[in-house]
C-alpha cells in the first residue's frame, strides 16, 4: 500500500485541491455585488551600469542597459471577498550585449473569500517568464547560469477560526521551474503545511505549532522532507512586532546515477589456461541518504512616522537549479526612511549561506548583496532615485570569489492615474 507522502507526490492529485478551490473562488466573484474596485497602472524606468552582467568569476562583461517595468493591477474588495490581479512586463535593452535583450512577464493572483464566520478560503498564484540570474540571486541567494525560465507557483489555503483565540490553517504551496537550454536543472516542489495558533490572554502574544510534509523533484532524483516547528509571536506595540519559530527537519533523498563502467572477468580455455578479459557496460543505480537537522524562521517589523524596517531570517531545506537539495541560511533586512518631506533613503541587505545536503559536497558558498539608495518624491506617486547594488559570492569549496557592482538611476510612477497629485 502506498504511503500518504507517495500519494501526495503525484502531480495530478497535489494540484487537484488548488484547481477546485480556484474554480470555487472564481465562481463566487462572478456573482458578488457591491464590491469596491480599483485599477492602477504603473511604470518603473531604470538606467543601469553593470560591471559584471553574467556575475562571472573568470569572464566579466560590462555594459549599460535600459529597463522598464510597465504594470497594471486590478483590486476588487468587498466585506467578504478579495480579488487582486497584477500583470507586469520587464523589458531589458543592452547597449552593447544586444543578444541578452529580453522581455520578461510576471502575472500574480490573490483571491480570498470568507465562506462563513469561521472559515476562509484563499489562493495565491504566480506565473513568470523571465531570466534566472538576477531574480534568483536577489530572492534566494543562488547564482545559476543566466537562462530563460518559466516558473509557476500557487498556494491554496483554508483557515478555520476554531475559537476566539485558536486558529487552524491548511495550505498546499506548489512550485515548478523549467529552464531553457542546458546549464540549469528543472525542479519542482510541493508541501502540505498545517499551522495551529493560539492567542494568549494578554491579547499580544501568540503560540504556533507547524508540522509539514514536502517533496522536491529533480530530473535525476527527489527529496522527501518532514518538518516540525514551534514558535511564538509578539505585538510589542502598535509599531513593533515579531515572530520566531524553530524545530526539526528530516529528509530522505534519492539520486539516480548512470554511466559506463568496465567489468572484468576470467575464462578457462580448453587447454586449461585461464585468461582475464574486460568489457564495458552501461549502468544505472540509485543512491539514497538521510539527513536530520534544525530549521527555523523569524521576522521583526518596526514602523515609525517616516519609515519602516523589516528583518527576516530563515534556515530551510530547499530545491535549486543546481539539481540538488540545499540547506539554506538567510538573513535579510530592508530599511526605508524619510530624511525630509520629499527626500528619503533606502538600504537593503541579504546574506545567504547555501550548502549541499548530499553526502558528497557539490555546493558550499555564501552570497551577499548590499543595496543603498536615495530617492526624491517629485509628487506623492512619483519619485526619482539613485541606487547602488553590490553582489559578492565566496565559494568555500573552490576558495574562489566573485563580485558585481550595479549603479542605477530610477524613475518610479507608482500610480499613473495620480501623476498630478
pLDDT tens for residues 235-244? Answer: 999 999 999 9
Catalogue the E-assigned strands of 17-80: 36-50, 63-77
Is the CB of residue 31 less than 8 Å from the CB of residue 25?
A: no
Report how far residue 135's alpha carbon sits from residue 131's, in angstroms, rounded to the nearest whole number: 7
**Which residue did the predictor score with more confidence, 62 or 417?**
62
The pLDDT of 157-184, averaged and rounded, is 93
How much of the chain exceeds pLDDT 70, in percent? 83
Q: Which pLDDT does position 2 carry in this prediction?
A: 42
Report how far residue 5's alpha carbon sits from residue 254's, in angstroms, rounded to the nearest whole number: 15
Q: Which pLDDT does position 370 carry in this prediction?
A: 96
pTM check: above 0.75:
yes
pLDDT tens for residues 99-131? Answer: 999 999 999 999 999 999 999 999 999 999 988
**Whether residue 251 has pLDDT greater than 50:** yes
Partners of 28 in the β-ladder: none
Catalogue the E-assigned strands of 238-273: 240-268
**Whether residue 18 has pLDDT greater than 60:** no
Report how far residue 205's alpha carbon sits from residue 357's, in angstroms, rounded to the nearest whole number: 35
Q: How confident is residue 10, by pLDDT bands cut at 50, 70 and 90?
A: very low
**Whether residue 3 has pLDDT greater than 70:** no
Domains by residue range for the chain, with CATH: 4-418 (2.40.160)
Q: Which pLDDT does position 419 carry in this prediction?
A: 62
Pairing of strands 166-171, 119-131: unpaired
**Whether residue 278 has pLDDT greater than 70:** no
Biggest CA-to-CA distance, the chain = 103
**Whether residue 386 has pLDDT greater than 80:** yes
| Cβ atoms < 10 Å from Cβ of 345 | 15
Report how far residue 110's alpha carbon sits from residue 304's, in angstroms, rounded to the nearest whole number: 28
**Whether residue 1 has pLDDT greater than 50:** no
Q: Which pLDDT does position 12 carry in this prediction?
A: 38
Q: Which pLDDT does position 276 carry in this prediction?
A: 66
pLDDT tens for residues 29-82? Answer: 554 545 688 999 999 999 999 999 888 877 889 999 999 999 999 999 988 899
Report how far residue 308's alpha carbon sits from residue 241's, in angstroms, rounded to the nearest whole number: 12
Q: Which pLDDT does position 139 carry in this prediction?
A: 78
pLDDT tens for residues 321-355? Answer: 888 889 999 999 999 999 999 999 999 999 999 99
The pLDDT of 125-140, averaged and rounded, is 84
Q: Which pLDDT does position 282 carry in this prediction?
A: 56
| Cβ atoms < 10 Å from Cβ of 282 | 8
**Whether residue 418 has pLDDT greater than 50:** yes
pLDDT tens for residues 182-224? Answer: 888 899 999 999 999 999 999 999 999 999 999 999 888 889 9
The pLDDT of 285-311, averaged and rounded, is 91
Q: Which pLDDT does position 289 carry in this prediction?
A: 81
Is the CB of residue 205 less than 8 Å from the CB of residue 233?
A: yes
**Whether residue 361 has pLDDT greater than 90:** no
| Cβ atoms < 10 Å from Cβ of 117 | 7
**Whether residue 84 has pLDDT greater than 90:** yes
Amino acid at each position: 500500500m502506498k504511503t500518504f507522502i507517495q500519494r501526495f507526490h503525484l502531480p495530478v492529485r497535489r494540484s487537484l485541491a488548488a484547481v477546485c478551490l480556484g474554480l470555487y473562488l472564481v465562481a463566487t466573484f462572478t456573482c458578488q455585488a457591491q464590491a469596491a474596485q480599483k485599477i492602477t497602472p504603473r511604470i518603473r524606468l531604470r538606467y543601469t551600469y553593470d560591471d559584471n552582467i553574467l556575475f562571472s568569476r573568470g569572464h566579466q562583461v560590462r555594459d549599460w542597459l535600459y529597463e522598464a517595468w510597465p504594470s497594471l493591477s486590478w483590486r476588487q474588495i468587498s466585506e467578504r471577498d478579495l480579488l487582486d490581479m497584477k500583470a507586469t512586463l520587464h523589458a531589458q535593452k543592452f547597449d552593447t550585449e544586444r543578444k541578452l535583450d529580453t522581455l520578461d512577464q510576471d502575472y500574480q493572483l490573490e483571491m480570498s473569500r470568507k465562506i462563513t464566520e469561521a472559515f476562509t478560503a484563499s489562493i495565491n498564484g504566480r506565473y513568470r517568464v523571465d531570466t534566472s540570474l538576477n531574480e534568483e540571486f536577489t530572492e534566494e541567494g543562488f547564482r545559476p547560469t543566466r537562462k530563460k525560465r518559466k516558473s509557476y507557483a500557487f498556494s491554496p489555503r483554508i483557515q478555520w477560526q476554531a475559537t476566539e483565540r485558536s486558529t487552524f490553517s491548511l495550505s498546499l504551496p506548489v512550485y515548478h521551474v523549467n529552464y531553457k537550454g542546458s546549464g540549469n536543472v528543472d525542479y519542482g516542489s510541493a508541501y502540505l503545511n498545517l499551522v495551529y495558533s493560539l492567542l494568549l490572554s494578554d491579547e499580544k502574544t501568540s503560540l504556533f505549532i507547524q508540522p509539514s510534509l514536502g517533496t522536491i523533484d529533480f530530473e535525476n532524483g527527489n527529496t522527501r522532507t518532514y518538518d516540525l516547528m514551534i514558535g511564538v509571536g509578539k505585538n510589542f506595540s502598535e509599531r513593533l512586532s515579531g515572530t520566531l519559530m524553530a524545530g526539526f527537519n528530516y529528509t530522505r533523498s534519492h539520486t539516480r546515477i548512470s554511466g559506463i563502467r568496465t567489468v572484468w572477468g576470467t575464462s578457462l580455455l580448453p587447454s586449461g589456461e585461464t585468461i582475464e578479459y574486460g568489457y564495458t557496460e552501461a549502468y544505472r543505480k540509485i543512491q539514497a541518504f538521510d539527513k536530520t537537522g534544525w530549521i527555523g524562521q523569524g521576522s521583526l517589523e518596526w514602523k515609525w512616522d517616516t519609515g519602516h524596517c523589516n528583518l527576516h531570517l530563515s534556515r530551510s531545506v530547499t530545491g535549486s537549479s543546481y539539481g540538488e537539495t540545499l540547506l539554506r541560511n538567510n538573513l535579510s533586512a530592508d530599511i526605508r526612511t524619510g530624511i525630509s518631506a520629499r527626500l528619503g533613503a533606502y538600504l537593503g541587505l541579504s546574506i545567504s549561506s547555501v550548502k549541499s545536503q548530499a553526502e558528497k559536497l557539490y555546493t558550499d558558498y555564501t552570497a551577499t548583496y548590499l543595496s543603498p539608495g536615495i530617492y526624491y518624491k517629485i509628487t506623492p506617486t512619483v519619485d526619482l532615485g539613485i541606487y547602488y547594488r553590490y553582489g559578492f559570492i565566496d565559494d568555500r569549496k573552490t576558495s574562489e570569489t566573485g563580485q558585481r557592482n550595479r549603479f542605477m538611476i530610477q524613475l518610479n510612477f507608482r500610480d499613473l492615474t495620480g501623476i498630478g497629485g
